[in-house]
A and B are shown apart, each in its own frame.
Chain A
Amino acid sequence: MSAAWNPMGYSEKLIDHYENPRNVGSMDRSDPLVGTGMVGSPSYGDVMKLQIRVNTKGVIEEARFKTYGCCSAIASSSLATEWIIGRTLEEAAAIQSTQIAEELDLPPVKLHCSMLAEDAIKAAIADYRAKQPGAQSCLSH
């Protein structure tokens, strides 16, 4: 491989997440324990689908994603799934896009990818909560 070819000046960590994305896949969105977030839009070049499976203690046991988008978008969503597994919903909801951007050393023109990843986490959590019996409209985020 010609590893030197990197016109955007991406960090090694970002390239690693792009080339070896973690937790790619889909879960059954009708499963009551699964929350699904779909954010972005095709015409703007990025669509992220992020799913979580939450156990009875409110801890995210499993996370899966699929992303249509640039390398930064793929890497941001891959990193997001890695970070939320094993966390409570509250902890996951507290993850900030700036933390993702910092970890991957995103170029300024790609900061929107980390924001989209944050949105995807929050959307998945909101979907999960909305599915729970007696769901309240007041969500923690």
Chain B
Amino acid sequence: MGRRKTTRFWRVVNAVLATRPGAKLAEITRAPINKLSGLMARSKRERPTPWAPFTKKFPEARLAIVTTAGLHVEGDPPFDIDDVRGDATFREIPADVDPRRLRIAHAHYPHQRFLQDHNVILPLDRLHELVAAGALGGLSPRIFSFGWGGGLTREYIDPKTGTAHEVARRLQADGADFVLFVPT
């Protein structure tokens, strides 16, 4: 295990993204960043291809949300945005959270649109409306929120210690019938 390496770089990026020109720059550079990140993410290793068929009707199905938006409830510890490798830990957010209590600890995307309207990342208003109308069975009580993943892999998928496994077990305990994953 290597020593934890930290950088102030992403804090600077975060401050730039919080400005109007910085947010604009993020949109202009999106295409090359996507291309480069796609190339870097390529792996020669064969990965498992699990498949769980979705057989329920939506009015009987309980939806759980999982995101990597770096969201957490105020008062909960924020994600580590200084670790050069990323932070594979997660926070729980109640599905009935007051959105005004949500905070972002993620330095890789502009936050302005979320601060205007939480539904651009967590469309909770729409989902609660669907549940109230009987079109969706319900929302799982916990939203699971991860931080920036960087190049981390084992920290998520290791069967014994991986945080994704812990989240999967908690989703099972919550009786989730399907999961919507939201990136940022």
**Binding partners A and B:** no
